[in-house]
Amino acid sequence: MGADVSVVAASESSCKIFGDGCGFEAPTVSLFFPTPWLDFGLPGTSGLNKYYLVAVVALLVAAAFWYFTTRKAKVVPGRGQSVAELLVTFLRDQVTRTAIGKEGDKYLPLMVTLFIFIFSMNIMGLIPGLQLPVTSNLAFPAVLALLIFLLWNIVGIRRHGAGGHFKARLVPGGVPTWILPLVIPIEALSNFIIRPATHMIRLFATMFAGHLLLALFAAAGFYMFNPLSEMGAGYGALSVGYSAMALLGFLVFTAFELFIMAVQAYVFVLLSSIYLGEALEGAH
Amino acid sequence: MNEHRSAKDAASDTEPSSANGITLVSYLLGGLAFWGGVGWVADHFLGFSALFLPIGLGVGLVGAIYLIYAQHVRS
């Protein structure tokens, strides 16, 4: 089954409020497991499915953004170039310089790229016809979080040496020696497992839940729209009122979701910058 | 406080507070998961139903709170 909201709604079309008594079936997590177009039968893989297509579209959107905003770059920027420059300076001032300092300018291109890519993957959840945020599949945030985790180690090792980096991450400063056996495992688990895991889950879970919520509102709107109810015109009119409320909720949450999509992309790059800043800083 | 501070000063003010929130949760989860896990394994091999698991959870919680205190409150 496709993850398209209209497909979900269409599949529920036989059941209506004030109808023949069959109840409302809420959209399920099957939304996030689209039927693969090409399945290679490899264990642990999903085959080529809608996520791949939407990810490629997201990539093209991100590339197109830069192409159209910077192809005629001038000292006095035009409208498109201003948007791109505003984004870059915003991320520089609010993310890399805040978390890393002046040295963070070196990581600004990475952070801007990550932000645009994640935002365009998120926003695919609102594009009619696609309606599937790529980041609602755990694999995509996982790869990005893994990239930052690797970079965090590489940056730390290059700056402080392998010993210095791992010591700074495992042995907390200013702690008596006898308590180290208690706290070193906590530091290890916290820094090397839980932090990268929460980094990816934060993005994945927000997009997953947001998409499910939108699908629920849309499906409820279709379910409750039954103007030709066999129970009478009064019920028919009531159903239209109910449906209007559900669709109003859908619109409000769509706007809210757009905001969340931008915020989550921002949070992801902010955390990435904080981690890199910490690796550069060394012992705390 | 002087309002004309450099960007670096502002950065050093905001960085720990934003990092703290993330670190606190991972310390608490890490403490509970590791020492709780050790307790669970001890229970499993020593044949107790639930003796070392709560002890491990307690130790992990204390360790995590101590780390938070030592890293972010005291300093």
* Bridge partners, residue A38, by sequence: A48
CB contact under 8 A, B29 and A190: yes
Distance from CA of A275 to the nearest CA of B (A): 8
How many CB atoms are closer than 10 A to CB B8?
12
The pLDDT score that the predictor gives to residue B19 is 56
Q: Does A196 touch chain B (CB under 8 A)?
A: no
Rounded Cα–Cα distance for residues A262 and A241 (Å): 32
Q: Measured between CA atoms, how close is A104 to chain B, in angstroms?
A: 11
B75 vs A contacts (CB less than 8 Å): 174
Least CB–CB distance from B11: residue in A101, A187, A193:
A101
| pLDDT at residue number A2 | 38
Torsion of CA A72, A74, A77, A81, to 10 degrees: 40
pLDDT of amino acid A282? 77
Verify whether the Cβ–Cβ distance B66 to A182 is below 8 Å.
yes
Decide if pLDDT at A55 tops 70.
yes
Report chain A's mean pLDDT, rounded to a whole number: 89
Would you say the C-alpha torsion A254, A258, A260, A264 has a positive or negative sign? positive
Distance from B70 to chain A by nearest Cα, in Å?
7
pLDDT confidence of residue A284? 61
Q: Is residue A164's pLDDT more than 90?
A: yes
A27-36, A81-90, A161-170, B6-15: range with lowest mean pLDDT = B6-15
Instruction: Render each residue's pLDDT in chain B as its tens digit; 75 residues.
Output: 344 444 444 444 444 455 567 778 889 999 999 999 999 999 999 998 889 999 999 999 999 999 988 887 776
Query: What's the average model confidence in pLDDT over A226-246?
Result: 86
A227 phi and psi, to 5 degrees? -65, -25
**Backbone dihedral angles phi then psi of residue A138, each to the nearest 5 degrees:** -55, -30
User: pLDDT tens for residues A121-154?
Assistant: 999 999 988 899 999 999 999 999 999 999 999 9
Task: Provide the token pair at A209.
Answer: 């839940």
Q: What pLDDT does A121 receive?
A: 96
Task: Indicate whether A237 pLDDT > 50.
Answer: yes
Tell me the three-class secondary structure of A25-90, residue by residue.
CCCCHHHHCCCCCECCCCCCCCCECHHHHHHHHHHHHHHHHHHHHHCCCCCCCCHHHHHHHHHHHH
DSSP per position, A112-167 = HHHHHHHHHHHHGGGSTTT---GGGSTHHHHHHHHHHHHHHHHHHHHHHHHHHHHH
Radius of gyration of chain A (CA): 24
The minimal CB distance from A195 to the residues B26, B66, B74 is found for: B26
Average pLDDT score over residue span A37-59:
89
Does B27 sit within 8 Å of A284, measured CB to CB?
A: no
pTM of the model: 0.85
Q: What is the structure's pLDDT at A140?
A: 95
| Closest alpha carbon to A120 in A65, A162, A167, A79 | A65
What pLDDT score was predicted for residue B5? 40
Q: What's the residue count for chain A?
A: 284
pLDDT in tens, A178-231: 999 999 999 999 999 999 999 999 999 999 999 999 999 999 998 888 888 778
CA dist., res. A64 & res. A70, Å (int): 10
d(CA A201, CA A196): 9
In the DSSP assignment, the letter for residue A282 is -
Helical pair A79-91 and A50-70, crossing angle rounded to 10 deg:
110
pLDDT of A278 > 50? The answer is yes
Total H helices, total E strands in chain B: 2, 0
According to the model, what pLDDT value does residue A13 have? 53
Backbone angles phi, psi at A38, to 5 degrees: -140, 115
Question: Least CB-CB distance to A277: which of B15, B23, B59?
Answer: B15
Nearest CA in chain B to A98: B11
List the structure tokens of B66.
Answer: 């101590």
Cβ A86 vs Cβ B2: under 8 Å:
no
A47-76: average pLDDT: 91
Q: Where are the domains of chain B?
A: 18-70
Question: Distance (Å, rounded) from C-alpha B73 to C-alpha A172?
Answer: 13
Residue that wins the pLDDT comparison between A19 and A65: A65
Paired with A48 in beta bridges are A38
Query: What is the C-alpha separation between A228 and A16, in angstroms, rounded?
Result: 10
